[in-house]
Structure 1
Amino acid sequence: MQNDKTLTADDEGKDVVNSDGDKIGRVTNVEHGKAHVDPDPGLADTIRSKLGWGDDDEEDYVLNTSSIETVTDDEIHLSR
């Protein structure tokens, strides 16, 4: 688990989960420490992001690091 909230390309492909543990999206790209999240990734998007081929589209949202509670090997957990 990462102790800081600095995101890198290694975080691409991770699931984003809310404070209730529900999956709400997947990180498709990280630029300048900011994660771009697809709120409803399809299979192709998931594979691209896991391979590091992330590509933003008009449906991605930038995740504020202030919203992040913890980062694990597989997920980014949001605070309440």
Structure 2
Amino acid sequence: MQSVQFTDEDVGKSVVNGDGDEVGIISAVEHGTAYVDPDPGITTKITTALGWEDIDDEDGYPLQEEAVATVTDDEVRLASNL
């Protein structure tokens, strides 16, 4: 995917994994970086897979550009290798 520039319009979009399972939502966007609020049921699995286990951020976790496969009007799909 080409460079991803998130905007405030992306707040509230579902974040789904490569299998289409919802793993969280975009909770905030700051300076083009989206922050994900992970689904509490799978927080440990996702945070570990994305290297966020030591991060504590009230807005959520920053979504790295290389983790994004596609962005649509309704969702952000993560790369299937996560």
Task: Give TM-score, length-normalised by structure 1.
Answer: 0.70
C-alpha distance in 2 between matches for 1:16 and 1:39:
8
SS at match of 1:24: strand
Shift, 1:40, TM fit: 2.2
**Mapping 1:27-42, distance limit 5 Å:** 27-40=26-39
Number of corresponding residues: 63
C-alpha distance in 2 between matches for 1:17 and 1:24:
5
Q: Specify the alignment match of 1:19 in structure 2.
A: 18
Shift, 1:57, TM fit: 1.2
Is residue 76 of structure 1 aligned with residue 81 of structure 2? no
C-alpha distance in 2 between matches for 1:15 and 1:4:
19
SS at match of 1:10: helix
Shift, 1:4, TM fit: 4.8
**Counterpart code for 1:57:** E
- In the alignment, structure 2 segments of 5+ residues that lack a partner are 41-56
C-alpha distance in 2 between matches for 1:6 and 1:66:
12
Task: Give TM-score, length-normalised by structure 2.
Answer: 0.69
CA RMSD of aligned residues (A): 1.9
**Counterpart code for 1:62:** P
